[in-house]
Amino acid sequence: MVSWEILSTRYIVTLPGYVHLYRSLLRFYEMPENEVREMLYLLNTANLECYEYYHPERVIVESGPVAFCRWLEKKGYRPYRTEVQLYKSLLFLKRSIDRELIITSQREALQTLRCILSNLEYRFYKAYRMEIEDKRTVFGECSYRLVPREDEPSVCLMRDWIELPSA
């Protein structure tokens, strides 16, 4: 049986996804902008290198850090609506990278991502007294990718989402 860790490295994360993630980290997580940019750039290169490893027949073109940071400033990409959506997107990004295929700086960025995930879990539990992946949250309704769907929940708990007139 193939593990999810290996399967998910077969998908490439698109640049617009990083823009959503960038804006969401600035919205929901206290971290300096330059550190967010650097981390996302390193995770982007790690994702591309893992994808290239599993798809050697494909040609992958990596943008440099300056071009990547310009992409992050693109208008028209909104942040995620909830911390749950941010958390699930970060999980997707984490699982799109095979730790064995990346260099030290990328591993450090991956470790930072793991710390962010842990902090989000802790803060969510502290605020709602339940795990972020609990079935009472909207975790199951959020997409497992970086580019959000338009119909994703705008609240963290299922009971609140069900009670919304537009749900």
At 40-98, the pLDDT tens digits run 999 999 999 998 888 888 877 778 899 888 888 877 788 999 999 999 999 999 999 99
The rounded distance, in Å, linking the Cα atoms of 25 and 12 is 20
The rounded distance, in Å, linking the Cα atoms of 118 and 156 is 17
pLDDT, position 164: 58
pLDDT, position 7: 38
* Chain segment 91-120, per-residue pLDDT in tens: 999 999 999 999 999 999 999 999 999 999
The rounded distance, in Å, linking the Cα atoms of 96 and 93 is 5
Q: Which is more confidently placed, 12 or 16? A: 16
* Rounded (10°) CA dihedral 70, 62, 145, 74: 10
- With 50 as the cut, is the pLDDT of residue 126 above it? yes
pLDDT, position 57: 86
